[in-house]
């Protein structure tokens, strides 16, 4: 192939239970991930062996200039890792078009890494199996393995061990983006400052969330949403408390900070309800707002030439 295009969704956490930091610095956690219909696109073009490059583009509401294009870029690291592990004399020119907020708590960088793994695997015809890709994904970041599969899934370990979950129905989310991102490590550090060792629990699978997902009853899921990183995100961005309150007052079934933030999520009944809540948030001066439904599949090839 000369060119392959892959789309990858954003992730949200319906529940995020965080425990103690491990010796390697990562926190033990149990999370329920859902992939929602907000996408980054990763295009991979053939390049001479040893030549790896990336460009990043996206619509104006997204701070694309904050995404590095040097060797620290996660999509580029993913491509290099795949070539290295296969001992492959390959190269690639990656083109990332962002639809997922940067540093928004929705795993935009991880999505690009998952997209690059799938795109390069197809471009180079390497036929690495999904379990093997998943192992490489885990080396790149805690959320990357989930973005290969998508849907709704329980994440354990540091988030990289993914087990698909039983879900009925479709869930409509209003997403309030922030023009200024939050650093995930900084939010975890704030979590550590706010949490004394006596408060720390061994995180477990949240029964209320799993039961709500099996029932397909949106109000039940709304009431069960939880995020242990939310107090830390609110300490760093106190203004988000008003945003969450506004969403609930304007009839959302649940309101929560997405992952490490600062994006906020509002659960609604359907598209029409999502539009009403989005309008109410905008009318109160909050924005930019968009909406997306989940669950949707993970990284997938949508185009290419043979």
- 287: Cβ contacts below 8 Å, ≥ 6 apart: 176, 177, 281
With 0-12 / 13-18 / 19 or more C-beta atoms within 10 angstroms meaning exposed / middle / buried, residue 262 is: buried
Q: How far is the CB of 304 from ligand C5P (least distance, A)?
A: 28
Tokens read off for 243:
């945003």
Q: Which stretch binds ligand C5P (CB under 6 A): 140-148, 161-169, 212-220, 245-253?
A: 140-148
CB-nearer residue toward ligand C5P: 254 or 298: 298
Choose which of 19, 26, 37, 132 interacts with ligand C5P (CB under 6 A). 26
Query: Does residue 141 bind ligand C5P (CB under 6 A)?
Result: yes
Kindly tell me the number of DSSP H helices and DSSP E strands found in the chain: 10, 12
Q: How far is the CB of 245 from ligand C5P (least distance, A)?
A: 27
Query: Does residue 223 bind ligand C5P (CB under 6 A)?
Result: no
Q: How far is the CB of 83 from ligand C5P (least distance, A)?
A: 21
Active site residue: 11, 40, 98, 228, which one?
11
CA distance 37 to 86: 32
CB-nearer residue toward ligand C5P: 188 or 266: 188
Site for ligand C5P in 266-285 (CB under 6 A): none
Query: Does residue 29 bind ligand C5P (CB under 6 A)?
Result: yes
Tokens read off for 14:
């319906």
Choose which of 11, 27, 77, 237 interacts with ligand C5P (CB under 6 A). 27
CA distance 276 to 193: 38
CA distance 151 to 214: 14
Residue 143 a catalytic site member: yes
SS3 of the chain: helix, strand, coil, percent, to 5: 35, 30, 35
Site for ligand C5P in 162-201 (CB under 6 A): 184-185, 188
Query: Does residue 31 bind ligand C5P (CB under 6 A)?
Result: no
Residue 11 a catalytic site member: yes
Active site residue: 40, 98, 112, 143, which one?
143
Kind and range of the H or E element at 302? strand 300-305
Query: Does residue 105 bind ligand C5P (CB under 6 A)?
Result: no
Q: How far is the CB of 27 from ligand C5P (least distance, A)?
A: 4
CB-nearer residue toward ligand C5P: 29 or 56: 29
Number of residues in contact with ligand C5P under rule CB under 6 A? 11
Q: How far is the CB of 301 from ligand C5P (least distance, A)?
A: 24
For residue 88, give the nearest of 116, 123, 41 by alpha carbon: 123
CA distance 300 to 260: 26
Beta bridge partners of 35: 11
CB-nearer residue toward ligand C5P: 159 or 294: 159
Collapsed DSSP state (helix, strand, coil) of residue 227: strand
With 0-12 / 13-18 / 19 or more C-beta atoms within 10 angstroms meaning exposed / middle / buried, residue 45 is: middle
Residues lying near ligand C5P in the complex (CB under 6 A) are found at 26-27, 29, 141-143, 158-159, 184-185, 188
Question: Active-site positions?
Answer: 11, 143
């Amino acid at each position: 192939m000369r060119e392959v295009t892959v789309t990858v969704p954003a992730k949200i956490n319906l529940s995020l239970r965080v425990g103690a930091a491990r010796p390697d610095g990562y926190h033990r956690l149990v999370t329920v991930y859902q992939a929602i219909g907000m996408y980054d696109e990763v295009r991979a073009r053939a390049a001479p062996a040893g030549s790896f490059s990336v460009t990043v583009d996206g619509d104006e509401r997204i701070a694309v200039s904050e995404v590095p294009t040097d060797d620290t870029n996660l999509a580029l690291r993913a491509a290099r890792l795949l070539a290295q592990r296969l001992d492959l004399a390959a190269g690639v020119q990656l083109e990332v078009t962002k639809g997922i907020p940067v540093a928004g708590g929705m795993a935009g960088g991880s999505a690009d890494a998952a997209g690059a793994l799938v795109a390069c695997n197809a471009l180079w015809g390497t036929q690495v199996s999904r379990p093997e890709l998943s192992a490489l994904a885990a080396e790149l970041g805690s959320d990357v393995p989930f973005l290969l599969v998508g849907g709704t899934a329980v994440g354990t370990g540091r988030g990289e061990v993914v087990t698909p979950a039983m879900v009925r129905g479709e869930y409509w989310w209003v997403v309030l983006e922030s023009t200024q991102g939050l650093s995930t490590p900084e939010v975890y550090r704030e979590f550590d400052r706010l949490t004394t060792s006596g408060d720390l629990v061994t995180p477990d699978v949240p029964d209320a969330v799993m039961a709500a997902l099996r029932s397909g009853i949106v109000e039940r899921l709304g009431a069960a949403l939880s995020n242990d990183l939310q107090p830390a995100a609110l300490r760093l961005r106190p203004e988000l408390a008003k945003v969450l309150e506004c969403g609930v007052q304007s009839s959302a079934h649940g309101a929560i900070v997405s992952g490490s933030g600062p994006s906020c999520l509002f659960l609604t009944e359907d598209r029409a309800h999502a539009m009403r809540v989005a309008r109410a948030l905008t009318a109160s001066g909050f924005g930019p707002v968009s909406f997306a439904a989940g669950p949707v599949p993970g990284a997938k090839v949508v185009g290419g030439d043979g």
